Each structure stands twice: as C-alpha cells, then as structure tokens.
C-alpha cells in the first residue's frame, strides 16, 4: 500500500530560525511528489511539484528537494506568516490520486 | 483566472439525511477529484471524474457518490449521513491529461452531522 509519512508532526520556530520538514514515501512507481500549504479553515495551496530524484525547486523562503525515498521542505529564515500546515502528497503511475501525509504543523514565533 | 469554487461553504445536517456538494473547476480543467479531510485521518481520496466518467475511486462506502457534468462541474452526494461523515470536503481540479499534473484545491465545504 502506498504510504506517505511526514515528520515532525509539529514544529515551533523562532523567527529567522531555519529548519527542514521531512516527507518519506513508500509507493510503487512515483509519478510526482507535491507540497501544499494549508491555513486553518482553508483548502490546500499548491507550492511545488517534484518529478525526479535530485530535483530542487524554490519559492521565496521555501526550497523543496527530492531523493528516491524522501522529500524535504527547507524553510530559510522563516517569518510568522510562514506559520501553516505543510502537506506532502505522492501520485503514482496509473492514477491521479494524491496520497497525503498527515502534515507538518509549523508555528513561527516573532 | 478564477480558482476552484465550492458551494456551500458550510452545512449542518442530521444523521440519516443526505447532502449534495458542488464544485466548479478552474476554466479548462477537465478532471475533478474529491477528498475528505478529518483531524484523525487527514486527507483521503474519494474519487476522480474526467469527461463525465469516474476514473478513480477511493476506499469509501457506496453512500459516497459523485457525478460530473458536460461543463466539468462536479457534485458529490452522501446518503444516510453518519456522525463520522463530519469533515471538510475538498475538491481539486487539474487538466486531466496525464497523472502527476498539479491539482488545485477549492476552499472546501465544512459538513457537520449532528
């Protein structure tokens, strides 16, 4: 069964304190690895798609990387507005369903 | 370009009732997927529709059903509601041309079953 596991579940950071979120996946035939950001009461907001090991993508203070077994979301010098739940999801060959991890809840303290 | 819209945003129902939720995808997107989000289980895939046909189905009972119209708008229906159906129901749209395309989510419909 396809499985996506995120760690840590929750993270409190001081403003400016860089950190990384982990997403490990056990799937048969990864087609794409997705990162979303979700604020309370809202739908997930798309951040990145990674398709092959070694790929990296950046957006402002966020950088996503992918290996054959896991993905990392690096948050550099976070600000309070980066507080959110970050969701990782995998899509496998043959279908279009997103298999989500439980999320990393990040709180950035001013 | 307008994003994915969902109506209604909030619903309160009682056990045994049925409910219909609606989703309008981004213009030009032909695939609509539905997900259920709960604190305990996280986001779980319900089903995907493409060109008015169900293309994928998750592991949910038959009380959960959906359909897609010729303009790609989609509805999902839950019959004989149970307390455990209380959740945020999210729909996501994509072009639908190949697996692995980015799916864009709507704001969700919050369903409370009493």
Tens digit of each residue's pLDDT, chain A (110 residues): 778 999 999 999 999 999 999 999 998 888 999 999 999 999 999 999 999 999 999 999 999 999 999 999 999 999 999 999 999 999 987 778 999 999 999 999 99
CB A61 within 8 A of CB A90: no
Please state the rounded mean pLDDT for residues B93-100. 86
Query: At B105, is the secondary structure helix, strand, or coil?
Result: strand
pLDDT tens profile A74-90: 999 999 999 999 999 99
In degrees and rounded to multiples of 5, residue B73 shows phi and psi of -60, 150
Q: What is the DSSP letter of B44?
A: E
What are the chain A neighbours of B105 within 8 Å (beta carbons)? 36, 43-46
Which chain A residue has the Cα nearest residue B89?
Answer: A43
Contact yes or no for B4 and A103 at CB 8 A? no
In degrees and rounded to multiples of 5, residue A80 shows phi and psi of -55, -30
Interface with B, mutate which of A10, A44, A89 (most B CBs under 10 A) = A44
Q: What is the pLDDT of residue B107?
A: 97
Which chain A residue has the Cα nearest residue B96?
Answer: A96
Structure tokens at A76: 């550099």
Contact yes or no for B100 and A51 at CB 8 A? yes
Structure tokens at A43: 């739908």
Rg of chain A over Cα atoms, rounded to whole angstroms, equals 13
Please count the helices (runs of H) and the strands (runs of E) in chain B: 0, 11
């Amino acid at each position: 069964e396809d499985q996506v596991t995120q760690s840590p579940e929750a993270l409190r950071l001081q403003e400016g304190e860089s950190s990384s979120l982990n997403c490990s996946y056990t799937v048969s035939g990864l087609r794409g690895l997705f990162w979303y950001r979700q604020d309370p009461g809202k739908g997930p907001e798309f951040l990145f798609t990674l398709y092959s090991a070694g790929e990296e993508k950046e957006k402002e203070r966020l950088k996503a990387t992918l290996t054959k077994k896991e993905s990392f979301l690096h948050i550099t010098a976070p600000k309070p507005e980066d507080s959110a739940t970050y969701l990782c999801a995998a899509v496998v060959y043959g279908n279009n369903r997103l298999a989500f991890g439980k999320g990393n809840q990040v709180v950035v303290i001013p | 370009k307008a994003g994915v819209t969902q109506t209604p945003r909030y619903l309160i129902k009682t056990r045994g009732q049925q409910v219909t939720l609606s989703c309008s995808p981004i213009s030009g997107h032909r695939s609509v997927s539905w997900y259920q989000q709960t604190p305990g289980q996280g986001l779980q895939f319900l089903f995907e529709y493409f060109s008015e046909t169900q293309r994928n189905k998750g592991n949910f009972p038959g009380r959960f059903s959906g359909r897609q119209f010729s303009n790609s708008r989609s509805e999902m229906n839950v019959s004989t509601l149970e307390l455990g159906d209380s959740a945020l129901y999210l729909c996501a749209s994509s072009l639908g041309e190949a697996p692995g395309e980015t799916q864009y989510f709507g704001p969700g419909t919050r369903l409370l079953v009493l």
